[in-house]
Structure 1
Amino acid sequence: MLPAIQLPAHGVGGATDLPIPYAYAVVGAAWALAISFAVLAFAWKEPRLQRPEPDVAEPPRRPWLAFVGLLLTAWFLGTLFLGPDDAGNPGLASIYILVWVGLVPLALLAGHVWKDLSPWRSIQWLVGRITKRPDGFVTYPERWGYWPAAIGLFGFVWLELVSPGAGDVATVRTWVAAYVVLTIVGGVVLGPRWYDRGDPFDVYSSFVARLAPLVERRRFSPHNPLVSLPHLPIRGGLVVVIAVLLGSTAFDSFSASSVWQRTNPSTLASTGMLVLFCAVVATAFWLASRATGGVSREERRALPGETAHTLVPIVVGYMFAHYLSYLLEGGQRAVIGLLQQIGLGDDLTVSYFLSEHPDVLAIYKVMFVVAGHVVAVVAAHDIALTVLPKAHRLTGQLAMLVLMVAYTFGGIYLLFSV
């Protein structure tokens, strides 16, 4: 058997991992953003990405994928609830690595395939047919927007990053059981809209899927993903969802630093710091997106929602920078552990290529952070050409550019934190 996976030992390595000086990395990243903005300002003067969404209906849920989703869920949850009662339970890694971290590359490669795989949607569909209430019993309140998903995402990252029981099987079992019950009841009562707006994993997948280059509206359709990104639905809580994703990843790096560890933080202090990271991300973006002239009060109020999609590439870049080795190496260990629970995989071994080549890993980390920000600058510039008055199209972007540079400084600083 493989030794227990050390769940807390993930994330971004310290300064010793990086083959380039901190100052060079920061200056290079800042120049990349500044040059990108300058080139866009002179060469990209009309919106190119704001096209109507294809008038093609999404395909119905594919039964074979729904069946695969049910099998995988039964396997993961069966391992979690019936497996060992210690940290060696592979069900823990299946939740933290294969589901949470693996969701991002899955959505980038296959689009919002989570919608097909979701066992909770399958249960809701079955109950809907039996009760003849396919859309649920109560209409989903529009004012709720994405707020249930934001709360659910915060609950999960709190469990993973702050809770003293993050590696405790009983604690994770309790959290997962509560999530399953709430998700099934929410879907049955409120219908499929609950999953589109309230299920944290479903919503997260749908956001990242906007950047899938090969799949659009759950159909194979190679295209420029920056064209589908602006069609991210604008609803209440949108900025908060993205702030939780981005802020929690930044907090994860910070919490592993010696600066924070020396304080020997309590659970309450860690919770407060996690909230602070998420709040700073949300507040800074809210202020930067509204920092323009020439618009009415109503138009200014709408700007954070209209530009929120530009943060999705940064979220994806940070997730890969932060969790790359955790996904590829911890993911192998998780799969082998799951196979061993059913009598397979004893002859499989884990490749630790990235850990054995820290210079390669470090370069990838910096590249992912910078690439995410450059793509975000492109998306932000294009939407600015649409929503800002002509006289403020460039000056209205300066605050957002400063914010992007600040995010980059912060992200790379956390890559170097020890």
Structure 2
Amino acid sequence: MNRTTTLRRFGVSLLFASLVSLLAAPVAASNGAVGLAGASQDNLAVPQWLYLATGGATVGASALLASFVTDRRFIERVHSWRTSVALDDVVRRGLGIVGSVLGLALLGFIVYLGFTGPQAPTLNFAIIVTFAGLRAGYTMFTYLVGDTWRAVNPWRTVATLLPNGFVEYPHKLGRWPAVAGILALVWVETAAGVTRQPNLLAMAVAGYSVLTLLGALLVGPDDWFDCADPVSVFLRFYGRVAPIRWNDEDGLSVRLPGMRLVTDDEVTDLADIAVAVVLVWELTFSGFVTTEQGAAAITAVVEAGLPALVVYGVLYLGGFAAFLGLYVLASHLTVRRIETFETPRALAVRFAPSLLAIAVGYHLAHYFAFSVSLSPMLVGALTAPLSPPANPVVLTLPAWFGALNVVFVLLGHLLAVWVAHSQAYDTFPSRMQAIRSQLPFVVVMIFYTIVSLWLVSLPTASPPFL
């Protein structure tokens, strides 16, 4: 079998697997998020022709990219291009001080106004800023522009001013504490009512602050916020997709979006893979439970006799385990398919950064319309935190916004395929090995994308029994 035939079969098999994603009949694009879902509940119509055409074009481009873009020098030029913007020391220190003050002020207002402000979620500063501002808007800023959390993080600001580092962090744990923390925070967001009750949110933030400061003071801020703190790890991994990064030596380093996923060795073990997978899964989970179909499925199981929280818990943890297991399985299949001295673990680590591109695409699809529709409410809360408006303004978005959700998911998929393609050519000296090694991972990415496209095509609903 010659090389051309092998490339053609690879592309055809990848395209065939991808076309399964087009079987999902689009109904409407979901813009609901768990927080403030009732304030932004419009279902955004997605034209079927656009859904199919965009999906087909992106999937076809993925197959062509994986099969025919084989010039190593071109691939190297794309992901290694960079430029720097020098900043004066005074400017950098000033920006750091501004960020620290802003972070402390926001934390103080969230806790204080969560307890003392109006207890209606669409009027309370804590609810609006936490979910429309931080959960949606600031996360998007982190991966679209740059990660500024190190400067803004109020708990790091406090911990660095106090005596710390009394014990050494157990590095054998890696980032597993952060994985558990992210899962716990999303569970609290979904099941504990913090998106509807400002005083409950304030209690949760205050409790989180105490635990975070104790941990940072015990093992030191650097180890705690790099490995154990779920919010910091969550934003750190998203920030790797951003084009701009703060560099202590050069000021600002600018690169093409997502290219640090190829060159930076941030992912080193299974715990880091789990972080990447949980960023994909938590959005899939919250997307599913806020759709009419998801609500109907959960209702049917609960009515059969199982407690609601047990149903949610099994779905939540079981789905995460399935997503993680599917990805690890892809690494084992890859080793079986090609002749290589690479271990399944090494390949799983190598290709894991591509999952962050999928997470970015789905986060945009999940939160972009939500953030835009609530932007007047957020601006009002930030400019007048002590004077909530009597009638908060929510934007009604045009129908074409639904098409953006589909585009975001598919662009994330395409970026993920490019990252995997670049990683393969950086790992294997043989061109055929590089091409064949990608297939199991790209198929897993396509599966994630199928699920994402299906969820953004469904009408929204409130999660039942919560």
State the TM bucket, normalised to the shorter chain: 0.7 to 0.9
Cα offset, 1:46, TM superposition = 6.1
What SS class does the counterpart of residue 343 from structure 2 fall into? helix
Distance 1:160 1:401 in 2: 31
- Confirm whether residue 373 of structure 1 aligns to residue 405 of structure 2: no
Give yes or no for contact 1:214–1:222 (8 Å, CA) kept in 2.
Answer: yes
Aligned length: 401
Instruction: String of CA shifts for 1:140-188, please: whole Å, max 9, x gaps.
Output: 1111211121111111111222335542334323322221111111111
Cα offset, 1:232, TM superposition = 4.5
Instruction: Give me the TM-score of the superposition, normalised by structure 2.
Output: 0.77
Residues 1:65 and 1:311: Cα distance change in structure 2 (over 3 Å)? same
Aligned equivalent of 1:186: 215
What SS class does the counterpart of residue 166 from structure 2 fall into? coil
Residues 1:147 and 1:217: Cα distance change in structure 2 (over 3 Å)? farther
Distance 2:420 2:309 in 1: 37
Instruction: String of CA shifts for 1:46-97, please: whole Å, max 9, x gaps.
Output: 65567699999x9778223212221222222222233234434331222222
- Which of 235, 240, 245 pairs up with 2:279? 245
Distance 2:81 2:381 in 1: 46
Matches within 5 A, 1:64-143: 64-87=98-121, 88-128=123-163, 133=164, 136-143=165-172
Distance 2:446 2:284 in 1: 15
Aligned equivalent of 1:167: 196
Aligned equivalent of 1:267: 309
Give yes or no for contact 1:26–1:408 (8 Å, CA) kept in 2.
Answer: no
Aligned equivalent of 2:256: 224
What SS class does the counterpart of residue 394 from structure 1 fall into? helix
- Confirm whether residue 311 of structure 1 aligns to residue 343 of structure 2: no
What SS class does the counterpart of residue 139 from structure 1 fall into? coil
Residues 1:151 and 1:234: Cα distance change in structure 2 (over 3 Å)? same
Give yes or no for contact 1:26–1:409 (8 Å, CA) kept in 2.
Answer: no
Residues 1:12 and 1:393: Cα distance change in structure 2 (over 3 Å)? farther
Cα offset, 1:111, TM superposition = 2.0
Instruction: Could you tell me which runs of 5 or more consecutive residues in structure 1 were left unpaired when the two chains were aligned.
Output: none
- Confirm whether residue 415 of structure 1 aligns to residue 456 of structure 2: yes
Aligned equivalent of 1:35: 64
Aligned equivalent of 2:366: 322
Instruction: Give me the TM-score of the superposition, normalised by structure 1.
Output: 0.85
Give yes or no for contact 1:289–1:400 (8 Å, CA) kept in 2.
Answer: yes
Distance 1:121 1:371 in 2: 34
Give yes or no for contact 1:79–1:338 (8 Å, CA) kept in 2.
Answer: no
What SS class does the counterpart of residue 321 from structure 1 fall into? helix
Give yes or no for contact 1:321–1:366 (8 Å, CA) kept in 2.
Answer: yes
Residue type at the aligned position of 2:345? R
Distance 2:82 2:255 in 1: 12
- Which of 297, 319, 329 pairs up with 1:277? 319
Aligned-residue sequence identity (percent) comes to: 24
- Confirm whether residue 255 of structure 1 aligns to residue 289 of structure 2: yes
Distance 2:74 2:255 in 1: 22
- Which of 176, 180, 188 pairs up with 1:147? 176
Distance 2:379 2:160 in 1: 30
Residue type at the aligned position of 2:448? Y
Distance 1:346 1:269 in 2: 38
For the aligned residue pairs, the C-alpha RMSD in angstroms reads 3.2
Aligned equivalent of 1:362: 402
